[in-house]
Structure 1
């Protein structure tokens, strides 16, 4: 056959396209089996350089070309185990073992059998690992059984740490705690309704003490198995929910960073779970303190240290409160007490703070007395009208005076639409925090304080009806704990809302209740202040009464004139 090209073939037009960019090993027409082997070898090369994501991509390409390649499946299983993906690695090596067993004749590989047992062990399935290793010993002998025997020795040590005689008491204690939790869980009751509907899931609210306890357990758990690296894991956990790390407006990088953080945190958690399965925390404590007396001594010393430190912190808090009261910084005092009582004291138990009730009463009484001292008769009131004078006495903003004093700038006021209202956002955060604290408030005095703060927040947000209802609830809680201070402060919130709305009759009754409480507390300044408020309110009532009489007389005169004009027209007609 001639090697020369024919005339038609030599005159053929070349293809109108750019030649594809091929890599050196893609120029030759390799078979799929050869290409799969090349990709698998490249994957092992990158895995030795610890470039696991690139290596996994090459091994996946190898399996795409040849899905039933047992060697590539085992390599991907080893790679996934190195990356901390033991359950996925178990699927690959189990599939490789099944492929070899389906051949004719069946092939039994000791290497793949050990790979399956290692994947089971790293998947925290200790019982299945033990069964697999004993099956390996029955199949193989001599040199091939040495590796399985070593793995069985390690597995026996793990079983000794979990279920030894020394750990009997901690295991019994843990089982009893688990049974108590299962017994206290509410049982699901099926409805008799046949309509299939989506049931609402009740939101579970955790107390501040429970949140602090869980955070503490997480730190102890991480420090036990990761030593000093637990700080990095804690930092990584906070970064996962930090909006500054992966902002929403960064469309590409945010997704990548979020995925990277999740994968790294998942790897750390997988490692700690594997270590915990092989040697639980109670076994580690037993190894660290072989003598029970030594363990109890260390535990008591730690308790006494925390108690003494808490006592020192409490005295420092009280000194700071007294200093702020002397300086007259009521706003700073309110923020400081809210932070201390909401974030610090709520995380302490009665064992650490046996004086918790007394300290709570003292702090809230300090705050209440500091707020009562605000209600004093001003030396000079510039406003001379009744309602405005009443607002000035209660130190409420007067919109009319603000509108008169403000000057219009020369520049054009262009209204800009803001997507969020800072005042509403602040109110929602404050209300959510106070309502969450109300769920776990232990004492009536604390509930009275929280309800008063909610009423004050509603008053500042101009929702006056809600402020009155919250103040009434605070008044009931204050009466329950016999606190005249917080009862008076709750009545003052009601008086402010009535004064803003102009409800003078209700304001009169509320001021009468406040006057009786002021007399009961024997506070002359408060009695004088309330009496002045009553007099100003009476002036406002008289002014309203005169205004209504004048308006009625004008209406009567206008109606009389209309009648006389109508009679005159009838007579003329």
Structure 2
């Protein structure tokens, strides 16, 4: 054969199939059945469940095919030599191999938490054994255990009583007695008196869920959208993101943690890690095209198996009675510790206010309120409203303490206006390039990073504002957002949020935060040299300061008003002088 003909033949024939070495030998079907069954058990032990199920399925196909051939073979010389007894023995032999394969596949299904499939395989294996006229106590007990895994406890108990009457012997009888005792304990945990408090407390919710489930009728998407008067021809439906409050998020985290540790013990850490691996960008690197999808599928499959096993354990022994038993004692401990922590927080806030470090005080209050106090309920912190008012009032007074007259400063000089109004020093950034000067690109990169950090801070504050219930806290959050906009020189957004903060403070009768929001508007006008608007804002702020009855604050505002009036007169004088000069030039 020439080289060209061999190439053409390889092109038309194609590549050989990807077979294992033992598959390239023409084994008899009886041996192939055993080989596929052994490979299925090997893959099952290695947790390669899909390969294991495929091997078991192939072994069952071969055994059924050979059983059909042995019973419906055409007459031939070889078939005449075989007696009917030999054919019957071959058929029973293939049934025995099918029984072993079904039993092994049911264990694989059970390891994957596919209990219904495992139960069907065990029933089929029991049917094959009954055709042979044999009984296997281990197989029957496995069938009862799979009924227990399917949460069919009553049927499991009936099967244990019925199947036990078919056997004689103390050892087998004792095994059935142990399984019956286990089922009785499960029924006692699920329906016993331990569950009475939970059922009485949540009976309306249970009845409502049952009524909703009974009335549920599956309908297509377009019909559900049409009932809501929404567009029913969209190819991709928009999913609304569910925004949970911090308290609800913490409650779910604690519930999941208690749930995992109750049923898995120290292995709960492994389950938590497996849950995070499903979306881990370092493990599921999109650049690894061949392995990323397989690892993602494998991690999701294993996590689903673990969760299903945990649900099975929860059905057998609900956690509600145990949780209610220790809940009150735990809440008393949390209430006592929360009281001590709140007193410590108040001492720290007072100390930081006396140190006149407003940035450190703001960061501390923000951290405490967003991570600890927001997670306290009325049960663990009955005086939560009073505590929040006290903390935010001290923070507002710390802002007011900064409004004092600086010493040894000439306020008539316009360059000292930043010192008087406490304006940011780097509010006017110069990005012009000079030959031989500093690197402008570094300043631009720092400004971009600072803007990104500011956006993250504003998003967190808005998320807190969305779930805040207290008026003074909402006023503070609006003021904090406005201050962040002011630092980034977004003056329009700053004024709008400061006015909203003043309205919210007025609604909750908080003069402190109303003053801070009004003075922030004054700072914006001072930054933009809007002296007329600054005069009006200072008058409103002065009205609020009189209600606060603070002589130091009134003196500071009078100084600001006097400096602003001087600058207004100075601008008018220069304007008139320019007008006179222009008229003289025309004459």
Same fold (TM over 0.5): yes
Aligned to 2:403, what secondary structure does the other structure show? coil
TM superposition shift of 1:227: 3.2
1:110-131 CA-partner distances (Å, limit 9, x unpaired): 6777655544432444466567
Q: Structure 2 unaligned runs (5+)? A: 64-97, 217-223
In the alignment, structure 1 residue 142 sits paired with structure 2 residue 167:
yes
TM superposition shift of 1:344: 0.6
C-alpha change, 1:208 and 1:62, in structure 2 (3 Å) is closer
C-alpha change, 1:501 and 1:401, in structure 2 (3 Å) is closer
State the match for 1:453 in structure 2.
480
Q: 1:78 aligns with which of 97, 107, 128?
A: 107
Tell me, yes or no, if the aligned pair for 1:478 and 1:486 is still in contact at 8 Å.
Answer: yes
TM-score, length-scaled by structure 1: 0.76
Q: 2:384 aligns with which of 356, 375, 383?
A: 356
1:468-507 map, 5 Å: 468-507=495-534
TM superposition shift of 1:201: 4.5
Tell me, yes or no, if the aligned pair for 1:445 and 1:478 is still in contact at 8 Å.
Answer: yes
TM superposition shift of 1:203: 3.4
In the alignment, structure 1 residue 60 sits paired with structure 2 residue 57:
no
Tell me, yes or no, if the aligned pair for 2:39 and 2:55 is still in contact at 8 Å.
Answer: no
TM superposition shift of 1:315: 1.8
State the match for 1:379 in structure 2.
407
Q: 2:339 aligns with which of 311, 331, 337?
A: 311
State the match for 2:188 in structure 1.
160
In the alignment, structure 1 residue 269 sits paired with structure 2 residue 307:
yes
Q: Which moved more, 1:311-320 or 1:105-114?
A: 105-114
Q: 2:37 aligns with which of 37, 40, 50?
A: 40
TM superposition shift of 1:389: 3.5
CA distance in 1, matches of 2:256, 2:51: 35
C-alpha change, 1:256 and 1:417, in structure 2 (3 Å) is farther
**What number of residue pairs does the alignment pair up?**
530
Aligned to 1:351, what secondary structure does the other structure show? coil
Aligned to 1:362, what secondary structure does the other structure show? helix
CA distance in 2, matches of 1:250, 1:533: 64
CA distance in 2, matches of 1:540, 1:509: 15
In the alignment, structure 1 residue 28 sits paired with structure 2 residue 28:
no
Aligned to 2:372, what secondary structure does the other structure show? helix
C-alpha change, 1:352 and 1:191, in structure 2 (3 Å) is same
CA distance in 1, matches of 2:409, 2:24: 96
Q: Which moved more, 1:275-284 or 1:543-552?
A: 543-552
Q: 1:94 aligns with which of 120, 136, 141?
A: 120
RMSD over equivalenced CA pairs, Å: 4.6
TM superposition shift of 1:514: 1.4
TM superposition shift of 1:345: 0.8
C-alpha change, 1:281 and 1:252, in structure 2 (3 Å) is same
TM-score, length-scaled by structure 2: 0.74
Q: Structure 1 unaligned runs (5+)? A: 1-7, 287-294, 562-573
Tell me, yes or no, if the aligned pair for 2:113 and 2:309 is still in contact at 8 Å.
Answer: no
In the alignment, structure 1 residue 346 sits paired with structure 2 residue 341:
no
C-alpha change, 1:161 and 1:333, in structure 2 (3 Å) is same
State the match for 2:68 in structure 1.
none
State the match for 1:213 in structure 2.
251
C-alpha change, 1:202 and 1:97, in structure 2 (3 Å) is same
Q: 2:493 aligns with which of 466, 476, 481?
A: 466
TM superposition shift of 1:489: 0.6
Q: Which moved more, 1:331-340 or 1:548-557?
A: 548-557
CA distance in 1, matches of 2:285, 2:196: 50
CA distance in 2, matches of 1:98, 1:216: 44
In the alignment, structure 1 residue 326 sits paired with structure 2 residue 320:
no
Q: 2:550 aligns with which of 498, 506, 523?
A: 523
